[in-house]
A and B are shown apart, each in its own frame.
Chain A
Amino acid sequence: MRTPKSGPKVDARAALRQRLGDDLDALAMLSEQESAELLGLIDDARAVQRTALDASIAEVLGRLPRLARGPARRIMFG
């Protein structure tokens, strides 16, 4: 089981409702601990996705034809 991260005590059920929407019936069936765990798993998934996306963008830009790299970098990073 996931251990909730340390820090100030928050209402995980309220936080999950705020994150996913008040109208989701499933959320009312989750305990505080289950809500905290699920929030943690969602945050982990977000972090994994962000890291994988950043790494892939960098790799893809490196593989583009030389002439396209400059415009591509400007599109991606301004």
Chain B
Amino acid sequence: MSGDLVTRAQLVMLAETLGVPPERIRHLERLGAENLRGLRERISNQLFDEQAATFARMSKLAPLVPNGLVAKVSQAIVPPLVAGRAAGALGVDHPGRAKGVLSDLSPQYMADCAPYLDQRTVAVLAPAIPPKLLIPAANELMRRKAYVTASWFLDYATPEALLDLEAGIPDKAGLLHTTSLVQSNERLDQIIRLLPADRVAVIVRTAIGSPELLTAGLSLLARLAPELTADLGDLLFEELDAEGLTDVLRMVVEQGAVLELLVVAASVREGALRRIAADPYLTAPDTVDRFLVEAAERDEWDGLLRVAEFLPGELAARVNEGAARARAKAS
């Protein structure tokens, strides 16, 4: 459900691991997010483990080289692929020095290295790194729109670090993109519950800024626990005036995000449903038919049937009959 963005993110991460453009492995998208993640993790682990002996020897060099020199030499001559690969192993062996080295590295270099880090070591190191050292690199990733790379940091950030990162990243639209790419729905719930409601509201409201943001926002909302979807969905629809709502619904259809809207509609409260059901674009027969087709294809009826409760009689009947036909056919 609502996995397209997450699947694409996993494909990009696998491509980064293999060092090829995503187009080269586009045919693997059909494996789905979970399988792509499994594949990437195994390949990544193998690439790291093969170099374990080299990293262990490099680690023994550490006492010979002061932090400042590590940072200076790395940025001058070590390519991000190597620095990223080695950083985790060295950081785990010398946790006390990670802070010192990171504080001497430029945010640009840290952002360059980020896609090549060993995620297993990030999980170990993350709690020991003060967020203030990572915020400039996180902002650099936002500037580059490297949301896929940024998203897996959210997988490992401690609760304190998440709060600091949210406060330290002014690009809330970038945060929406990044959060929508978090792999696990459970982790997504944790993140949203952890952040103060007013901060989440600011992030979610950015969804109406562009078609891409709307897709990210609806994808995020559709993956949350129903009560969170309801709260944030209501908030999103409250943000829109009548014209804005029509624009959003049109964007939903054009961006192929009807399924996500239907999932959100299954949770939002009556006020939002009434407004959706009264929208002139949604109530056009072509749009209703499109929603019926999408609901049937994905067998996702709850949202559309809830909207139908507030549609004018003839249209409501059309939806209910369409749903009954599709369900009978499916069974």
Could you list which residues of chain A lie within 8 angstroms of chain B, going by C-beta atoms? 19-21, 24-27, 29-30, 34, 41-42, 44-46, 48-50, 52-53, 56-57, 59-60, 63-65, 68, 71-72, 75-76
Contact = CB atoms under 8 A, between A and B. Distances in A.
A53 B64 contact: no
Nearest to B73: A63
Contacts of A24: 38-39, 42
A64 B36 CA distance: 41
B50 A26 contact: no
Contacts of A64: 64-65, 69, 73
B77 A56 contact: yes
B57 A34 contact: no
Contact of A20 (B27, B43, B60): B43
B35 A29 contact: yes
Given A20-B46, A59-B78, A71 B51 contact: no
Interface of B: 17-20, 24-25, 27-28, 30-31, 35-36, 38-39, 42-43, 46-47, 50-51, 54, 57-58, 60-61, 64-65, 69, 73, 76-79, 81-83, 85-86
A42 B18 CA distance: 6
Closest 6 CB pairs of A and B: A26-B35, A20-B42, A56-B82, A68-B64, A59-B77, A26-B39
Nearest to B83: A56
B64 A44 contact: no
23 contacts: A20-B42, A21-B42, A24-B39, A26-B39, A41-B25, A42-B18, A45-B19, A45-B47, A46-B47, A49-B51, A49-B82, A49-B85, A52-B81, A52-B82, A53-B54, A57-B54, A59-B78, A60-B73, A60-B77, A63-B73, A72-B64, A75-B57, A75-B60
Contacts of A20: 39, 42-43, 46
Contacts of A30: 28
